[in-house]
C-alpha cells in the first residue's frame, strides 16, 4: 500500500489493478470471482475515500429479486444483494465505506450505499 500511496501523491489519476494480492509468504494470489470489488474496497478503506463501481447494471435493485432500481441503500441492504462480491459487501459494511454503483453503459446516477441511508436529494 505504501507504493500505491506514493504513486497517488505523484499522479492524481492512478490506475491500480485489482483481483491480485501478495500473500504473507510472497506468493501472487487472487481474491477469486468478484475479487476486484474487494480490492477496490481495500483501497477505499486505506485512502479513506468513496469506492465507485461501474458495472453492467444501472445500480442496485431492491428488495432482492425486484425490478426496482433504488437511488440509495444502507450497507445491510447491499449485503443482501449479488451486485457486489459478498466478501466485499461485508467488508464495506464492517468498515462503513461509502460506495456508489453505476453503469458504464449509461449516464444514470446509480445507487449510493451509505449507513444510514442518505435522505433524498
Give residue-wise pLDDT tens across range 17-46.
778 777 889 898 888 888 889 999 998 999
Instruction: Kindly state whether residue 121 falls inside one of the protein's structural domains.
Output: no
Q: What global pTM score does this model have?
A: 0.82
Instruction: Kindly state whether residue 120 falls inside one of the protein's structural domains.
Output: no
C-alpha separations of 75 from 56, 89, 97 in Å:
21, 7, 9
Q: Tell me how far the alpha carbon of residue 22 is from its chain's centroid.
A: 20
C-alpha separations of 17 from 49, 99, 107 in Å:
17, 18, 24
Instruction: Kindly state whether residue 119 falls inside one of the protein's structural domains.
Output: no
Give me the domain span that covers residue 9: 1-113
User: What's the whole-number mean pLDDT along residues 110-115?
Assistant: 94
Q: Domains in the chain: how many in total?
A: 1
Q: Is residue 121 scored above 70 in pLDDT?
A: no
Amino acid at each position: 500500500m505504501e507504493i500505491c500511496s506514493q504513486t497517488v501523491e505523484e499522479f492524481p489519476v492512478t490506475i491500480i489493478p485489482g483481483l491480485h494480492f501478495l500473500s504473507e509468504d510472497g506468493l501472487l494470489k487472487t481474491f477469486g470471482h468478484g475479487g476486484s470489488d474487494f480490492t477496490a474496497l481495500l483501497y477505499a478503506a486505506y485512502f479513506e475515500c468513496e469506492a465507485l463501481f461501474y458495472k453492467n447494471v444501472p445500480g442496485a435493485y431492491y428488495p432482492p429479486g425486484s425490478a426496482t432500481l433504488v437511488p440509495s441503500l444502507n450497507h445491510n441492504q447491499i449485503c443482501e444483494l449479488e451486485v457486489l462480491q459478498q466478501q466485499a459487501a461485508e467488508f464495506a459494511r464492517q468498515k462503513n465505506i461509502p460506495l456508489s454503483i453505476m453503469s458504464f453503459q449509461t449516464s444514470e446516477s446509480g445507487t449510493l450505499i451509505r449507513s444510514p441511508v442518505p435522505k433524498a436529494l
